[in-house]
Structure 1
Amino acid sequence: MTLSYDVAGDGPTLVLIHSTVCDRRMWDPQLPVLTAAGYRVIRVDLRGFGDSPMPDRPYNNADDVADLLDELGIEQAALIGSSGGGRVAIEFAARLPQRTTALALLCTAVADHEPSARLRAFGEQEDALLEAGDVAGATELNVTAWVGPHADDATRELVRRMQRHAFEVQLAPVAEEYGSIKKDVDLAAITAPCLLVSGEHDFADFHDIAVRLSKELAGSRHVHLDWAGHLPSMERPEELNPVLLDFLRETVPAH
């Protein structure tokens, strides 16, 4: 298995998929709470993040998650995804609805979203910094863009370390670079109940995505947090964790 991961707890399985600004360490504030509530928690590092290496062949993130569950002998799981990790969770749930018990999507991306002018400008600025070799500048740009105003200094520093590490892994010279395999995603195929979370201090794109998905996904609900930026699970875990637990207890109760 290519992906690095860890497993903790016993009970119904939850798979936590990180934002592409972070790695699986972003879920540190959720791990003890979810395991104490009676869940088995699997945290993964997608390829090129955390402890997972860059791909050595064409790949697909949702397939990677499915392969990991196969390796662990797990037939079904609830998926909790943040931002780009939410996009992976959506694809998994659409392509493998029979294996998905619930979806919790925090400030999620989605494959067919057309970015706003503000989000495009961010991407262009990041690209320019990286092309100039200014990895530190690109890292700071991401910390400023994605971490909300209520995060403490320790949280900002952890995001800084995770993003810097991801850049270092992804920008390192490799013999050959492999892209991800794009697969069709039919949102209408998703049958799992879905929690959508958005933040007031985030890019408007992610609120718009949550509103759209709340209309398109049957059995979904949208919670908008007036204090949150793009990473509510890190910014104020003491307020986000009860929202997650209430949803999970209703949809995949621990025995």
Structure 2
Amino acid sequence: MIISHDVTGSGPAVLLLHSTVCDRRMWDAQVPALVAAGRRVIRCDLRGYGETPMPDGPHNNAQDVVDLLDRLGIERTALVGASGGGRVALELAARWPDRVTALALLCTALAGQETSSELRKFGELEDSLLEAGDIAGATDLNVDTWLGPDATPAAREAVRRMQRHAFDVQLAATEEYEPVRVEFDLAAITAPTLLVSGSHDLPDFRRIADHLATRLPDARHLELPWAGHLPNLERPDAVNTLLSDFLHGTPA
């Protein structure tokens, strides 16, 4: 199965991977800016998000993305990943390093990291709300947790809409298949990397960025003092400039 996607513009490719609070619509403000910067922009919905249905068997998100690139005839691309999408981008960049020209990670997750008490409490509360059938409450919890103080009402409504849709799709599934875990080595990543974290985010994601900055060969960590977990939705223009400047300085 080829996951749902859209392609806009022409030039060197950049692939946008969404947070697991959202779907590919989270990049609505980035697509025109990156196209104007001379990029061919691809964005996709991972399985169980947006327009991509839940998996019907074992699957691997990074392999899904590579299959999409192959279908589109794209041999090399820059990757921009947010949160859970960043985790997928890291796996792809480690398993297929020759296919990744640059890596921009916004508040990225990382497999195998120990979680903070704050993140565990969030997960426990979300689980209890969903078990009680309070999907609206679980949705509001995500909006309140993952957006920083600069988020506009429109941004909050967009996250609410995307997260509610994800809950509806995932909770309706009759069977659940966990992604297939593939071992990979972060040291295999060769792409220049920009790591972005937010001062208003949970501490897990700043620690991940600090850790990756020491592990990856060509990486820098930028913490945004105004940002929560979804900076591209909180201050789109600022992140558009950040991404365009970073990609302009990397090999096409």
Identify the residue that residue 158 of structure 2 maps to in structure 1.
158
Shift of 1:173: 3.6
TM-superposed deviation, 1:142: 0.2
Counterparts of 1:212 and 1:101, CA distance in 2: 21
Contact 2:2 2:67 in 1 (8 A): no
How many equivalent pairs are there? 252
Question: Match of 1:122, as an amino acid?
Answer: F
The structural deviation recorded for 1:141 is 0.3
Which residue in the other structure is 1:213 paired with? 212
Superposition misfits of 4+ residues, deviation over 3 angstroms:
none
* Distance in 2 (alpha carbons) for counterparts of 1:75 and 1:232: 29
Q: CA deviation at 1:226?
A: 0.2
Cα distance per residue 1:76-96 (max 9 Å; x no partner):
111100000000000000000
3-state SS, counterpart of residue 50 of structure 1: coil
User: How is 1:42-191 mapped onto 2 (pairs within 5 angstroms)?
Assistant: 42-174=42-174, 176-191=175-190
Partner of 2:26: 26
SS at match of 2:87: helix
Segments of 5+ residues of structure 2 without an aligned counterpart are: none
Work out whether residues 15 and 42 of structure 1, in 8 Å CA contact, stay in contact via their aligned partners in 2.
yes
Secondary structure in structure 2 of the residue aligned to 1:85: helix
Distance (whole Å) between structure 2 residues aligned to residue 47 and residue 173 of structure 1: 12
Q: Deviations over 1:227-252 (max 9, x none)?
A: 00000011001111111111100003
> Per-residue displacement from partner, 1:168-211 (whole Å, max 9, x unpaired)?
0000042x322210001211010110000000000011011101
Shift of 1:139: 0.2
State the distance in 2 between where 1:86 and 1:37 align: 22
Matched with 2:237 is 238
**What per-residue deviation string (whole Å, max 9, x for no partner) do you get for residues 199-225 of structure 1?**
000001101110110111011011110
Counterpart CA distance in 1 for 2:173 and 2:192 is: 42
CA drift of 1:119 comes to 0.4
- Matches of 2:31 and 2:74 in 1, distance apart? 19
Cα distance in 1 for residues equivalent to 2:176 and 2:239:
37
Aligned counterparts of 1:20 and 1:173: Cα–Cα separation in 2: 17
2:217 counterpart SS class: coil
Which amino acid in 1 is paired with 2:11? G
Cα distance in 1 for partners of 2:59, 2:75 equals 21
Helix, strand or coil: the match of 1:221? Answer: strand
> Offset at 1:57?
1.4
TM-score of the pair, normalised by structure 2: 0.98
Tell me the secondary structure at the aligned position of residue 180 of structure 1: coil
C-alpha RMSD of the superposition: 0.8
Question: Which amino acid in structure 2 is aligned with residue 235 of structure 1?
Answer: E
Deviation at 1:2, TM superposition (A): 3.3
Correspondence for 1:198:
197
